[in-house]
Chain A
Amino acid sequence: MPIILDKVNYVYSDGTAYRIQALKDINLQIKEGEFIGIIGHTGSGKSTLTQLLNGLLKATSGHIYVDGEDIYDDDYDMKKLRNKVGLVFQYPDHQLFETTNFEDVCFGPKNQGLDRKTVELRAFEALRSVGFPEELYYQPPFDLSGGQKRRVAIAGVLAMKPDVLILDEPTAGLDPAGRDEILGLVSKMHKDLGITIILVSHSMEDVAEYVDRIIVMNQGSVMFDDTPKEVFSHYKELETVGLAAPQVTYLVNELREKGLPVDTSATTVKEAAQAILAALR
């Protein structure tokens, strides 16, 4: 399900003294089945962008085409858009509210008007695909650890069978193993289900490890839109906007400055180790 953004602008509090232009002339094409990372410092427009994509916010001007249809056409069914584009928020506590984990996951498909049997089948399927332990299905969500809460929140969106899954900082506050588990899960869903994944993240290391394409937001505009290697080769420019490259990218660049013929395109630990070994041999 391709998405095209054409000259999209978004302005908060327009016409008042607090007017803030959160997005400026955004042009983007998101192809079916892509795994995209969006990075940008706090206030760069990342969250506004994700909320436009599933229709929670309406662009001040410009057009968004989903599957070839303009979502701002008068006869476009916004409900359809929200079924296609699922959004998992940063704080799972804001998203979980039912009495049991299972009921919580049922909420989305139930709202889609499906019959009870289909709803329950979808919930089982979703909880299983996020690796949620069965003995916790009928427990309240409030006793869960941060990692488990995120799994339930993701399952709740998956149960609606979206074509595009947007995750806003899904690993904030998780321990390293929990972070690897959630990102591994997202990556597996991308491969197995073939859905488009958009990952909003503050962790350059995570983005470098998992995504195929990075969109860098700065002051409401797209600053870079390319592969991780290309984007992180601009690490000095990224620093000027409050971002950074993965630690290993700095490492290979520092070695290069010391005169070692190291390939400086490494963005992951494995690539860096290989580049260093190649340079020394």
Chain B
Amino acid sequence: MNRMGIIKAKNVVHEFFRRDEEGNVEAITTALDHVNLDVKAGQFIAILGHNGSGKSTLAKHINALLTPSEGALWVDGMDTMDEEETIPIRKTAGMVFQNPDNQIIASVVEEDVGFGPENIGVPTDEIWKRVDKSLAAVEMTKYRKHSPNKLSGGQKQRVAIAGVVAMEPKCIVFDEPTAMLDPNGRKEVIRTAHELNREKGVTIILITHYMEEVVDADYVYVMEKGQIVMDGTPRELFSRVEELKSHRLDVPQATLVADELRKAGLPIPAGILTREELVDAIVNVSDSERI
């Protein structure tokens, strides 16, 4: 069991049933279609895919909100089908959702962060220690006595993250955590995810539509119709511009500009991901032409 990754999915299928008024099955939707996944502890994984591709259904399997119709999924060696493991699994894999307003319940920031640990019976002293640490981890300590209502979107989302961090999970699944945020809020949340990964060794699974947020991930999966249709490092994936577009996705703007320049005949290398890389590549081209 030890060599198994922290999250392992083997041929996971998930079917949703739609029933009519008498309870007869009207339609079956296959949301996950034989998904295989092996995430090692400490990795930063990104999952891309258009609306309805099955990303969120997969995310919900990772903390046993949903269980496979076929196949199996293990979180830190625990089978999600085993109901006795449900609580330990949820302690291991935390979730951050899209809309921070749906996740924040208390009227004071620090109480909200302490809600999770309190619920699982952590002793009071320990709760406060965890609240201190979690708020520090997301850099929200100075807002601890504030009302969450008065915070910006990015700050609210960081409070929601602190609430998950306070449960001390080994793994956090972020399900489109930046979809509702302004550019600053987006940066704050993604930076926080990377810091948790780097400094606390938390395994991160980031589900997103924003290609710029994926460039620093260790490995990326692309989903379509419940299947994993592409996977690789960000550099490998973003060199396949046309294929990504066929899956209703996009590439970072820097990659698009690089692509345009290459089409116009400039010797720009493939696999440009960031602005810095593109600036260097263009400066190189201009230097070589001057000589």
- By a beta-carbon cutoff of 8 Å, the part of chain A in contact with chain B is 41-43, 143, 145-147, 172-179, 202, 204-205, 242-244, 246-248, 250-251, 254-255, 258, 260, 269-270, 272-273, 276-277, 279-280
Contacts and interface: CB of A to CB of B under 8 A. Distances in A.
B253 A248 contact: yes
A175 B183 CA distance: 17
Contacts of B49: 175
A269 B253 CA distance: 7
27 contacts: A42-B154, A42-B182, A145-B51, A147-B51, A173-B98, A173-B180, A175-B49, A175-B50, A175-B51, A175-B249, A176-B209, A176-B211, A176-B248, A177-B245, A177-B248, A178-B50, A178-B248, A202-B182, A246-B253, A250-B275, A251-B254, A254-B275, A269-B260, A270-B260, A276-B261, A279-B286, A280-B266
Contacts of B211: 176
Contacts of A204: 183
Nearest to A181: B248
Nearest to A258: B283
A43 B181 CA distance: 12
Contacts of A43: 152
Contacts of B50: 175-178
Given A41-B182, A173-B179, A173-B180, A260 B257 contact: no
Contacts of A178: 50-51, 248
A137 B179 CA distance: 28
B252 A176 contact: no
Contacts of A260: 282-283, 286
A247 B253 contact: yes
A143 B29 CA distance: 12
A247 B264 contact: no
B185 interface: yes
Instruction: List the 6 closest A-B pairs by CB distance, nearest first.
Output: A177-B248, A273-B260, A176-B250, A175-B50, A247-B253, A242-B184
A247 B152 contact: no
Interface string B232-275: 00000000000001001110111011001100101000000001
A174 B286 CA distance: 38
A244 B181 CA distance: 13
A242 to B, nearest CB: 4
B21 interface: no
Contact of B278 (A42, A143, A176, A251): A251
A42 B153 contact: yes
A260 B290 CA distance: 12
B249 A247 contact: no
B152 A243 contact: no
B176 interface: yes
Given A280-B266, A280-B289, A176 B249 contact: yes
Nearest to B154: A42
